[in-house]
């Protein structure tokens, strides 16, 4: 079997495994955020951080939802990392933003964080803060054994059957999922140009 076929077979299986009822629930949560004048904070690290910028644009432009990606402020994120460490980069940003119960966190992550291994602690601390503030959390994750998967109000698993493809399938799948949401008729307030 050639490599492209193997890659796309894994992608198709991951796509077929998406829980569409959970995706519909995500749309309704986002609709409530907009209705209640809440904000959407989209968090991710690595390649997922790059995806957060694009997603913020789409939720703001197409859905009229006030949305932010902390990693878009490189100066603040790197200053916090330098001065305080990586673990609190998102939670401190959210504290300054006065995160509250009308707001929603959307987590993009391959593994979802692991406290024991000290992986993606910034995401974990943000989720903990959101629970204290009673804001909801949605996670798009590639693995079902991470912190985000177990501690979100809605977790959508983007699982690749072949574990070698977890990252290269999960990160583009994040884009598929948020595009499905910004195209949803209960969310989209403005048509796309093309």
State the pLDDT at residue 104: 98
Tell me the DSSP string of 115-157: TTTTBSHHHHHHHHHHHHHT-EEEEEES-SSSHHHHHSSEEEE
Distance CA 151, CA 148 (A): 5
Q: What pLDDT, in 10s, does the model give residues 34-68?
A: 999 999 999 999 999 999 999 999 999 999 999 99
State the pLDDT at residue 172: 97
- CATH fold, domain 19-182, is Rossmann fold (3.40.50)
State the pLDDT at residue 194: 87
DSSP state of 121: H
What's the whole-number average pLDDT of the chain? 96
For the chain, percent of residues with pLDDT exceeding 70 = 99
Domain regions of the chain by residue span: 19-182
**3-state class (DSSP) for residue 157:** strand
Distance CA 36, CA 58 (A): 19
Confidence of residue 1 (pLDDT cuts 50, 70, 90): low
125, 122, 151, 157: which is closest to 137 by C-alpha?
A: 151
Stated pTM of the model: 0.96
85-96 average pLDDT score: 96
Q: What pLDDT, in 10s, does the model give residues 180-194?
A: 999 999 999 999 988
Q: What count of Cα atoms within 13 Å lies in the side-chain half-sphere of residue 146?
A: 28
14-32 average pLDDT score: 98
Cα 1 from chain centre? 33
**3-state class (DSSP) for residue 44:** coil
């Amino acid at each position: 079997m050639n490599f492209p076929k193997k890659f796309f077979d894994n992608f198709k299986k991951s796509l077929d495994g998406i829980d569409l009822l959970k995706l519909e629930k995500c749309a309704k949560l986002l609709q409530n955020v907009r209705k209640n004048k809440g904000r959407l904070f989209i968090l991710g690290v690595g390649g997922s951080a790059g995806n957060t910028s694009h997603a913020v644009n789409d939720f703001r432009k197409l859905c009229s939802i006030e949305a932010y990606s902390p990693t878009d402020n490189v100066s603040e994120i790197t200053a916090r990392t330098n001065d305080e460490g990586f673990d609190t980069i998102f939670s401190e940003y959210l504290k300054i933003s006065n995160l509250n119960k009308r707001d929603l966190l959307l987590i993009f992550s391959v593994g979802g964080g692991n406290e024991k291994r000290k992986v993606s602690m910034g995401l974990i601390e943000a989720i903990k803060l959101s629970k204290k503030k009673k804001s909801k959390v949605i996670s798009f994750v590639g693995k079902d054994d991470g912190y985000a998967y177990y501690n979100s109000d809605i977790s959508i698993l983007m699982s690749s059957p072949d574990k070698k493809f977890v990252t290269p399938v999960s990160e583009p799948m994040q884009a598929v999922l948020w595009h499905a949401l910004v195209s949803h008729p209960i969310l989209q307030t403005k048509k796309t140009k093309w």
